[in-house]
Amino acid sequence: MADVAELTVLAEQGGPPSARRSGRRSPLRRLMRQRMGVLALTLLIPLYLAAFVGPLAYRASPTKTDPLHANAAVSRAHPLGTDELGRDELARLLHGGRVTLSVGLVSMVVALAVGLLVGGVAGYYAGWVEIALMRFVDMFMSIPPFFLILVELAVFGNSPVIVIVVVGLSYWGQIARVVYAEFLRFRQADFVEAMSALGARGPRILFRHILPQVVPSAVVLATLVIAWSILTAAALSYLGLGIQPPLASWGNMLQNAQSYIWLDTKLAVFPGVLIGVSVLSFNLLGNALRDVLDPRNAGQ
Amino acid sequence: MRTLLYRLLAAGAVLLALGATAAQAQNYDPNAVINMATNADPTFNPWYPGVGIESDLINSVIFEGLTRWDGNALPSPALATKWSVSPDGLTWTFDLRPNVKWQDGKPFTADDVAYTFNDIVLNNKLGANLANIYTPVDHVEVVNPLEVKFILKSPFSSLPSYLAYYEGILPKHIFQGVANPFKLPSFNKAHPIGTGPFMVQSYVSGAYVRLVRNPDYWGGTPKLAGMVFKIVPEPDAQVAQVLSGGLDLIRVDNPALLSRLQNAPGLSLDQQSENVYFFVILHQTDPRFQDVRVRQALLYAIDRNAIIKSVLKGYGEVATGPIAPVQKAYYDPTVKQYPYDPAEAKKLLAEAGWTPGPDGTLQKDGKPFEITIDEGQFGQLVPIALLVQQYWQDIGVKVKMNIMDWNSYLTKTYVKRDYQATVCWWRTPTTPDVSPYYLSSAAASGNNWPGYKDPHLDQLLETELAATSQEAKVAATKAVEQYVAQQLPYLYLYYPKTVVVRKSNLKGLLAINLPAAFQHTVDWYVSK
Amino acid sequence: MLPRILRRLGQGLFVLLLVTVFTFVLVHLAPGGPSSVMRLGSTAAERAALRHQLGLDKPLPVQYLIWIGGVLHGNFGASLTGGEPVGPLIAQRLWNTVKLGVSVFAMILVFGTLFGVLAALRRNSWLDFLVNLASTLGMSIPDFWLGIMSILLFAVELHWFPASSTIDTSSTGVFQLVPYLVLPVGVLTFAVIPNIVRYARAAMLEAMSADYVRTARSKGLRQSTIVLKHAFKNALISVVSMLGLLLPVLLSGAVITESVFGWPGIGRLAVEAAMNRNYPVIMGVTVVAGAIVILTNIVVDTLYILIDPRIAHG
């Protein structure tokens, strides 16, 4: 499966290796990338701050219903109005942000952990371990992902922890393949043999030489996985799965708002825009990191 | 020569006049085909296990039952022309309509009725849809080709009403010899044969069902040339289509979608009501809920008018019992009412031993009052449950919400009866008989969902079932209503109002509600 | 070459078998049962009778063996929500998704390559920047949100296109189908095209930096000739091989698009079957989708070896 992994690496990293060699990244280009990275951070930092610190500053409850004041407009009491049950929209956006952004981060951690483990073990220990593991990855990635998520959620329930784990588990396969490919590329390199000849032991090679090579690709992929996780969680909420009410997430707020699209459009606009901005920022960040971290771009 | 000319002119004039009158009389479009929607792939067999709203209305135009609803939601003749019951209440005789043909040309006879009931409905091994309604029926006898008798095990005064509730008669000549009528996809999923005014021309899974008029229908030639039911799962998509002209009629259950439709040109909105009531149930296996004061208190604590105003946007009325106002002959408005009164709620709970603890939560014998509400994602259930949670928390009850997908919800709360409290609804035929949902015998494995067991209520229900005159039936029903309003086996929330949105040129529908209107589709027409 | 392909096919079949066992176990672990059994208003006796009728009370391994025995004879069982044969049902819905997928594929191939190549030719320019931004935007907007917004705007408010796609896609001619396809294809393309744009751009850049191109340029050949004749062709080959990998992405992207637009495809069927615990349909869809993914991988692998034989020995 090395060939397919290779392709995936290429796809994820934006092109065949030689495209990233000297001359492709002119200084002007890298500057623009950095600008995108800076833009991404200027969006993400306030978002995360608002989501995690905001609820401490703005104490309105996101779950207290007030049916007689449903779908209210902007007012002093409710800076962004209320939703269909009279709950404060700003509080729900803040608390929902906390949930959505956490889902993104933690799913990524899950995906990264499992992917690194499986891909690394397969890449490091060649032979039947490698074959068995990568076949397992194949099997996992052959099942239509949405479908697998649906069934997993049906089996294990849909508490927030389960949703996060399930979403994260959709992406570990891709990370495993990338990590495995990097290990493969590395195994071919001569200096592993040279290192062994010099007496360096396995774990030492692993940690001091191989991992640092793997980390850049993994980090770039990780930021993309955050973006994908947020989108997947939102799509799950659209189908009525995912994070369940009364816990607010931008995804389930968007799903609620669908019926109220004519009555109270703001309910659909805010969460949608926020999801788009977060995902966009992570994508931009991933692009910028790709430039900065990929050693093959170093020195250009 | 001139005389001939004048005669011809006169004849021509007469013909013209006749033609003009005819054209005026026929003020509808005889080639009109209307588009409606259903939310999932239908099955063309009203008895097929699991068929529900996705198939019910379509099956109403293909198949017919012995009775059907009239403009007052009372049973009226369909395939049966008249019926009567023996003095002991155990034998019902139905006279069948003559000269009725199946859509494949064969004649309809009493054998078809007997086959449908004896071989399908009453066959325990098959698990036919809604078969449990007919547990009082022992078997059906053919007296002659146009007369059947229903032989009962116990009195069943509401039999004619139930026979109107999506109980289509199936053709014996197609099913006899088939080991399992539910394993015949050529009928159930492709070409059903009924006696109704419309028949299936084509069906494409996930896309649509196309029906054409039955020219030999016993009730006359249907005015519409055909109907198409498009398969549109999402309610908002249905609304979008009715706005863009792709659909002629939809039923809107979510009032939030109505704001866009209210002033749309060319559309008419009709408010209708059926025999549906929404409720909160408290599982009676939990000793805390067996105290009637607790049940009453938890209902006093809910502001049902606020729920109707906010979530339902006003399309509903407060429910007082299991019999909806649409059943004008039986509805009793004088039963005990529960206006929103949190103070009264707290007082009753205190009488039952629940007093506020140090943090405000009610407690008894040191244990705090905690309820878990399980809820499924369907329609308005979740927002309503969230409001109920808030109202109960306001009087000091700690409420946890457990929301899940519909399938898991039904399995947990309905099949396994593993719940404490939940919000749901019953949609029942327009009959005053509520025994399937209230008899003690229906508690664990039947439809008595809260598991409420009360010998006095059982007695009242049996009296109603045994009633042989209309007056006796009304009196017995009102006694039941008075008692359940007092005892609250279900906490009655509201009767929803459905809105039917149709193109203004689609006319002839019975006004009372859609299920009744669908049993008279021969009269529908599109005006020119 | 051939033994390699055969070996991969064998392995693929084994993986597919594992997939079916895994899915079967997982699906039956899920609480709940088929929606035809779990109905509001049913009694315990009715449910038991039904379970027995549907063969659901047999032990799980027996049910699996019955199913796989049927599959080996080409019989995928009967749907639990109506009894229609699963095989033809899936085939019909799959064909509908293919119609959607092929349109999206064509759009991506044409426009993705176009924009990617243009961005590469005019790299570091404003066009490059815009293309990059637009593609990043496409990856960021939730596709169902975009779908709903486009229905609101184009179908309900402007009446340019129909709001939903519930027509008989099998008997409608190609040209009649177009208005129903525009919105779903547009939304799905917008969501998936960014990957191809990036890849085309990078592939084009690489092709343009290849030695023989530099040599040709040094010999004085005009930029455009070189570009059109050599670089573009090579870039295109790379892109096409990448497109194969996009197939699973399209399949799962179709789930949401089909749900929003009511397109009667296999994605929507899968979602409904999972929610209704329609076991035979779930298993059938798994087999079909799994087979598609595995086959695609094999084809892409083979193509890639053909393009760059070095990989085969790597």
Q: Over B399-447, what HEC string results?
A: EEEEEECHHHHHHHHHHCCCCCEEEEEEECCCCCCCHHHHCHHHCCCCC
Instruction: Answer yes or no: do A259 and B260 touch at CB < 8 A.
Output: no
Which chains have 3 or more CB–CB distances shorter than 8 Å to chain C?
A, B
Distance CA C18, CA C11 (A): 11
Chain A CB contacts of C119 under 8 Å are none
| Residue numbers in C near A103 (CB within 8 A) | none
Q: Which residue of A has its CA nearest to C204?
A: A19
Tell me, yes or no, if A58 comes closer than 8 A to chain C by beta carbon: no
Closest CB from B52, B206, B237 relative to C269: B206
**What are the tokens at B429?**
């035929």
Q: Which of B298-302, B445-449, C135-139 has the lowest mean pLDDT?
A: C135-139
> Which of C259, C120, C95, C294 shows the shortest CA–CA distance to C196?
C120
Chain B contact for C104 (CB, 8 A cutoff): no
- Name the percent of chain A lying above pLDDT 70: 78
CA distance A183 to A123: 5
CA–CA gap between residue C306 and residue C285 (Å, rounded): 31
For residue B240, the chain C residues in CB contact (below 8 A) are: 151-152, 155-156, 163-164
Tell me whether residue B468 is in a domain: yes
CB B197 within 8 A of CB B2: no
What's the mean pLDDT in B143-168? 92
**Concatenated DSSP letters for chain C?**
-HHHHHHHHHHHHHHHHHHHHHHHHHHHHSSS--TTTS-TT--HHHHHHHHHHTTTTS-HHHHHHHHHHHHHTT---B-TTT--BHHHHHHHHHHHHHHHHHHHHHHIIIIIHHHHHHHHHTTTSHHHHHHHHHHHHHHHS-HHHHHHHHIIIIIIIS-SS-S---S-TTTS-HHHHHHHHHHHHHHHHHHHHHHHHHHHHHHHHHHHHSHHHHHHHHTT--HHHHIIIIIHHHHHHHHHHHHHHHHHHHHHHHHHHHHHHT--SHHHHHHHHHHHT-HHHHHHHHHHHHHHHHHHHHHHHHHHHHH-GGGGG-
Nearest Cα neighbor of B252 from B522, B459, B37, B399 is: B37
Q: Which two tokens stand for residue C248?
A: 């699973």
> Among the ranges A51-55, B88-92, B261-265, C47-51, which has the highest mean pLDDT value?
B88-92
In sequence order, the 6+-apart residues with CB closer than 8 A to the CB of B459 are none
C-chain residues near B184 (CB < 8 A): 83
Put simply, whether A151 touches C (Cβ < 8 Å) is yes
Number of helical (H) and strand (E) elements in chain A, helices listed first: 12, 0
Q: Which chains touch A (3 or more CB pairs under 8 A)?
A: B, C
For B149, the token pair is: 């008798």
Report CB contact under 8 Å: C164, B230: yes
Structural domain includes residue B417: yes
User: String of b and e for A206-224 (b: at least 16 CB within 10 Å)?
Assistant: beeebbeebbbbbbbbbbb
For residue C44, count other CB atoms closer than 10 A to its CB: 13
Residue B514 within a domain:
no
**Which residues in B lie closer than 8 A to residue C30 (C-beta atoms)?**
408
Q: Considering only the beta carbons, identify the residue of A68, A244, A261 that sits closest to B310.
A: A68
Chain B hits for A244, CB-CB cut-off 8 Å, are 403-404
pLDDT confidence of residue C126:
83
Residue with tokens 């608390």: A95
Interchain proximity A240–B377, CB inside 8 Å: yes
CA angle B504, B239, B303 (to 5 degrees): 105
Residue type, A92: R
Please report whether residue B323 resides in a domain.
yes
Query: Which residue out of C29, C35, C38 would a mutagenesis test of the B interface target, given it has the greatest number of B Cβ atoms within 10 Å?
Result: C38
Tell me how far apart the alpha carbons of residues B337 and B320 are, in angstroms, rounded to a whole number: 7
Q: Nearest-CA residue of chain B relative to A150?
A: B405
Residues in chain B closer than 8 A to A261 (CB atoms): 236
Q: What is the ipTM of this complex?
A: 0.79
pLDDT, tens digit, 9 for 90 and up, residues B324-343: 998 888 999 999 999 999 99
Is the Cβ pair C11, A15 closer than 8 Å? no
Query: At what angle are helices C232-261 and C174-209 packed, to 10 degrees?
Result: 140
Q: How many CB atoms lie within 10 A of CB B249?
A: 22
Where does residue C116 rank: exposed (0-12), middle (13-18), buried (19+ CB within 10 A)?
buried
Task: Tell me the percentage of chain A whose pLDDT exceeds 90.
Answer: 8
Q: Which amino acid, A272?
A: G
C-alpha–C-alpha distance, residues B260 and A262, integer Å: 6
pLDDT for C82 equals 73
Contact B257 A259 (CB under 8 A): yes
Write the pLDDT tens digit of every residue in B470-505: 899 999 999 999 999 999 999 999 999 989 999 999
Pull the structure tokens for residue C1. Answer: 């070459």
Chain A residue numbers touching B235 (CB-CB < 8 A): 259
Residue B287 domain boundaries: 276-497
Between CA B373 and CA B288 the distance in angstroms is: 15
Q: How far is CA B170 from the centre of its chain?
A: 20
Chain C within 8 Å of B207 (Cβ-Cβ)?
Answer: yes
DSSP string, B140-173: EEEEETTEEEEEESS--TTHHHHTTSS-----HH
Residue C210: list chain A partners with CB under 8 A.
18
DSSP state of B34: E
Q: Which two tokens stand for residue B500?
A: 């039917």
Confidence (pLDDT) at A200: 57
The Cα of C165 is separated from the nearest Cα of chain A by a number of Å equal to 19
Residue-wise burial string across A231-245, b where 16 or more C-beta atoms lie within 10 A, e elsewhere: bbbbbbbbbbbbbbb
Report the DSSP pairing between strands B370-376 and B398-404.
Answer: parallel
Which residue among A6, A10, A142 places its CB closest to the CB of C290? Answer: A142
Return the CATH number at B319. 3.10.105.10
pLDDT, one tens digit per residue, over C230-249 is 777 777 766 766 666 677 67
> Which residue among A7, A135, A279 places its CB closest to the CB of C140?
A279
Residue B477 lies in a domain: yes
Distance from CA of B473 to the nearest CA of A (A): 40
Q: What does the alpha-carbon distance between residue B327 and residue B431 come to, in Å, rounded to a whole number? A: 8
Of residues B131, B240, B406, nearest to C163 (C-beta) = B240
Q: Which long-range contacts (CB under 8 A, 24 or more apart) does B341-344 make?
A: B341/B300, B342/B300, B342/B301, B342/B391, B342/B394, B342/B395, B344/B297, B344/B300
Asked whether B155 and B96 are in contact (CB, 8 A), the reply is no
Q: Which residues of C touch B245 (CB under 8 A)?
A: 159
Task: Name the average pLDDT for chain B.
Answer: 90
Side chain identity at A238, as an amino acid letter?
Y
Q: Please give the structure tokens belonging to residue B253.
A: 């259950």
Contact A67 B307 (CB under 8 A): yes
Q: Is residue B341 part of a domain?
A: yes
pLDDT band at B133 (very low <50, low <70, confident <90, very high): confident
When pLDDT is cut at 50, 70 and 90, the band that residue B50 belongs to is confident
Residue B86 domain flag: no
Q: What's the pLDDT tens digit per position in B423-437?
A: 999 988 888 999 999
Which of B254, B380, B404 is the best mutation test for A, with the most CBs of A within 10 A? B404
For B166-218, what is the HEC assignment?
Answer: CCCCCCHHHHCCCCCHHHCHHHHCCCCCCCCCEEEEEEECCCEEEEEECCCCC
Lowest mean pLDDT among A261-270, B12-21, B498-507, C269-278: B12-21
Within 8 A by CB and 6+ apart from C122, the residues are C128
Q: Does the beta-carbon distance from B408 to A64 stay under 8 Å?
A: no
> What is the signed CA dihedral for A87, A90, A95, A98, rounded to 10 degrees?
160
Question: What pLDDT, on a 0 to 100 scale, did the predictor assign at position A24?
Answer: 47
Nearest 5°: phi and psi at B286?
A: -90, 115
Total residues belonging to chain C: 314
pLDDT at A9 over 50: no
The answer to whether residues B230 and B208 touch, using CB atoms and an 8 Å cutoff, is: yes
Amino acid at B398: K
Which 3 state secondary structure label does DSSP give B40? Answer: coil
Quick check: helix, strand or coil at residue B25? helix
Q: How many domains are there within chain B? A: 1
**Predicted pLDDT at A23:** 42
pLDDT given at position C193: 84
Touching check for A162 and chain C: CB below 8 Å?
A: no
**DSSP per-residue codes, B382-393:** HHHHHHHHHHHH
Residues A67, B310: C-beta atoms closer than 8 Å: yes
Instruction: Quote the minimal CA–CA distance from C184 to chain A in Å.
Output: 16
Residue B380 lies in a domain: yes
Cis status of the peptide bond prior to C61, with omega within 30 of 0: no
Query: How close A167 comes to chain C (CA, Å)?
Result: 14
Return the residue matching tokens 């135009």: B61
User: B408 with A158: CB under 8 angstroms?
Assistant: no
A179 neighbors A214 (Cβ within 8 angstroms): yes
Whether A142 and C294 lie within 8 Å, measured CB to CB: yes
- Note whether B493 and B423 are within 8 A (CB): yes
Residue A254 with chain C: CB contacts under 8 Å:
142, 145
Local confidence band at A299 (pLDDT 50, 70, 90 cut-offs) = very low
Query: CB contact, 8 Å: B266 with chain C?
Result: no
Closest by Cβ to B240, choosing from C38, C81, C155: C155
CA separation, residue A54 to residues A51, A72, A98, B314 (Å): 6, 22, 9, 36
Nearest CA in chain A to B408: A154
CB contact at 8 A, C43 and B445? yes
CB contact under 8 A, C144 and A234: yes
Question: What is the model's pTM?
Answer: 0.84
Mean pLDDT of B120-133: 87
Residue C265 pLDDT more than 90?
no
Q: Is the pLDDT of residue B262 over 90?
A: no
**Within an 8 Å CB–CB cutoff, is residue C55 touching chain B?**
no
CA–CA distances in Å: residue B212 to residues B61, B218, B319, B519: 10, 15, 40, 16
Q: pLDDT tens digits for C58-98?
A: 998 999 999 999 998 988 988 887 778 899 889 988 888 88
pLDDT at B354: 93
Residues of B in contact with C48 (CB under 8 A): 127
